[in-house]
Structure 1
């Protein structure tokens, strides 16, 4: 039987990872500056490396936490899609979630390839392709949650925030 809500560890990981993901998407100046210096063959200072390392370490944390989330998802399960959600949109939600998990693994791996192994192709895929796809999926994910909350008036947001309590028996 599927749970009514995500577990507390699943919710903490979800929101913690959301903060880390947005941090790396919004504050990527350090790694981008490092990348420009490397491409131009200019000297890299310890401060440049420190700034780039912050982005890299946050990305590695996202990778590790994504694996933990997948394990928890497998062990603890997830709530079923609300009945109010049309079947086609339920499929879209499953595909979006699957692609988000895939990106939460591929983005750090391509970032590691670019930063630690000087693989320019991995860096281009990371910054020019996967980053754009991630932004699009995040917009779709947030839009889907808002549609559930305000149009269908389901408990989807509650399941990932404070949790849904078992309905009272009659």
Structure 2
């Protein structure tokens, strides 16, 4: 039987990862500055390396937490889609979640390839393609949660915030 809510560890991981993801998406100046210096053959200071390392370490943390989330998802399960959600949109939600998990693995791996192994193609894919796709999926994910909350008035948002005790 599927759980009514996500477990406390699943919820903590979700919101913690959300903060880390938005941090890296919004505050990517350090790694971008480092990249421009490397590409131009300019001098890189310890401060430049430290700023780039912050982005890299947060990305590695996201990768490790994504693997942990997938393991918890497999062990503990996830709530079923609410009955109010049309079947087509339920499929869209499943595909969106799957793609989000895929990106939470591919983005750090491509970033590692670019930063630690100097793979320019991995860096281009990371910054120019995957980053845009991630933003689009995040917008869709948030929009879906808001539609559930305010249009269908389901417990989807509650299941990932404070949890639900019983089905209505």
Give the alignment's TM-score, normalised by structure 1.
0.98
For these two proteins, the number of residue pairs brought into alignment is 168
Tell me the distance in 1 between the aligned counterparts of 2:71 and 2:89. 25
Deviations 1:67-89 (A, max 9, x none): 00000000000000000000000
Q: Distance in 1 between matches of 2:78 and 2:157?
A: 13
What runs of 5+ residues in structure 1 fail to find an aligned partner? none
Which ranges of 4 or more aligned residues in structure 1 deviate by more than 6 Å?
none
Q: 1:90 maps to which residue?
A: 90
State the match for 2:35 in structure 1. Answer: 35
* Unmatched 5+ stretches in structure 2: none
- Separation in 2, partners of 1:38, 1:123: 12
Structure 1 residues 6-25: aligned runs within 5 Å: 6-25=6-25
Match of 1:106 in 2: 106
Tell me the SS of whatever aligns to 2:116: helix
RMSD (Å) for aligned C-alpha atoms: 0.8
Distance in 1 of aligned mates of 2:90 and 2:129: 26
For the residues of structure 1 that align with 2:24 and 2:96, how far apart are their CA atoms?
20
Q: Distance in 1 between matches of 2:148 and 2:115?
A: 39
Residue of structure 1 in register with 2:160 after alignment: 160
Q: Matched residues in 2 for 1:150 and 1:81: separation?
A: 16
Q: Deviations over 1:16-55 (max 9, x none)?
A: 0000000000000000000000100101111000000000
